[in-house]
């Protein structure tokens, strides 16, 4: 069972290419800071603009650098089932602990189509985390479909980015004791999600505040609610700032301010506005992440 803070890792670029050295250093810093696990090649990692070769290479670098010290959940989503299966197979062959598979975007499949898509992905034999994010993929996997999928041997959890705090509770009741991992996909609701029965957060903010995000999750697990809430209160303006424009623009700018990598992105993502840069800067300073 995956628990705690898992950053949805940014992918550093340099002169238009994946910056492998910066990415390795970034993964190492994350582990040193106490992060609980790593998620390469998600939306925050700009997977839509990575070629298949680059996508697989970024996954391999992350696994190689982690060296088994923390689990790696490899992003392996696509709106093509055949492509998703290929990415899951690669993640398995590369040594990932699980794959994160997003609900197919743009196609708008039915619940029957969603079930068939995820069943095909889990048939590879690698643990699968369902990524349910209606704001980006347009479709929402129902509690009923997720409960049905959870009966399959390799569907092990969900990254829930619905921001619906009734969802983990309704899903747990429907699954009736099934061993299933509930990870929030929304930093702002990370603590309420834990209170609703969640196990952790696949986080944007953890890219630039890995220790604080991990400590917050750990405080909850240890029953230190006061410490947990103090950290959440401190980080809430940062959570907000990370989405002052479309992610990963703000978090990449924050990473550049911290000296971790360039803020460079690939089109159609562009440099964030000066006003957004100020918002990000002020949030980092106020949270004690930047002098």
Q: Indicate the burial class of 106 (C-beta count within 10 angstroms; 0-12, 13-18, 19 or more).
A: exposed
Residues 6+ apart with CB under 8 A from 259: none
- Which one of 148, 159, 252, 277 is the catalytic residue? 159
Q: Quickly tell me which residue has 């993502």 as its tokens.
A: 269
- Which one of 56, 92, 115, 131 is the catalytic residue? 131
φ/ψ of residue 93, rounded to 5 = -65, -35
Q: What is the bridge-based pairing of β-strands 17-18 and 13-14? A: antiparallel
- Torsion angle (degrees, nearest 10) of CA 175, 176, 179, 185: 50
Confirm whether 159 is a catalytic residue.
yes
CB neighbour burial string for 70-83, b if at least 16 within 10 angstroms, e if fewer: bbbbbbbbbbebee
Give me the active site residues, please. Answer: 131, 159
């Amino acid at each position: 069972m995956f628990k705690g803070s898992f950053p949805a890792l940014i992918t550093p670029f340099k002169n238009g290419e994946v910056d492998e050295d910066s990415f390795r250093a970034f993964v190492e810093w994350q582990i040193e800071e106490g992060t609980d696990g790593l998620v390469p090649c998600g939306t925050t990692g700009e997977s839509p603009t990575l070629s298949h070769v680059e996508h697989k290479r970024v996954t391999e670098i992350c696994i190689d650098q982690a060296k088994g010290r923390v689990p790696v959940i490899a992003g392996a989503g696509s709106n093509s089932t055949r492509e998703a299966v290929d990415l899951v197979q690669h993640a398995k062959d590369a040594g990932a602990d699980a794959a994160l598979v997003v609900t197919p975007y743009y196609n708008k499949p039915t619940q029957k189509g969603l079930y068939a898509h995820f069943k095909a992905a889990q048939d590879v034999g690698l643990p699968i985390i369902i990524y349910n994010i209606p704001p980006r993929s347009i479709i929402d996997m129902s509690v009923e479909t997720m409960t049905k999928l959870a009966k399959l041997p390799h569907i092990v959890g969900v990254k829930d980015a619905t921001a619906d705090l009734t969802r983990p509770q309704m899903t747990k009741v429907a699954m009736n004791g099934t061993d299933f991992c509930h990870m929030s996909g929304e930093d702002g609701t990370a603590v309420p999600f834990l209170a609703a029965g969640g196990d952790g957060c696949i986080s944007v903010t953890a890219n630039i505040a890995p220790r604080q995000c991990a400590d917050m999750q750990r405080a909850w697990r240890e029953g230190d609610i006061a410490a947990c809430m103090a950290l959440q209160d401190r980080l809430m303006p940062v959570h907000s700032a990370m989405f002052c424009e479309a992610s990963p623009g703000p978090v990449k700018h924050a990473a550049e301010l911290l000296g971790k990598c360039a803020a460079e992105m690939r089109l159609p993502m562009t440099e964030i506005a000066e006003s957004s840069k100020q918002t990000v800067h002020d949030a980092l300073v106020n949270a004690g992440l930047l002098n």
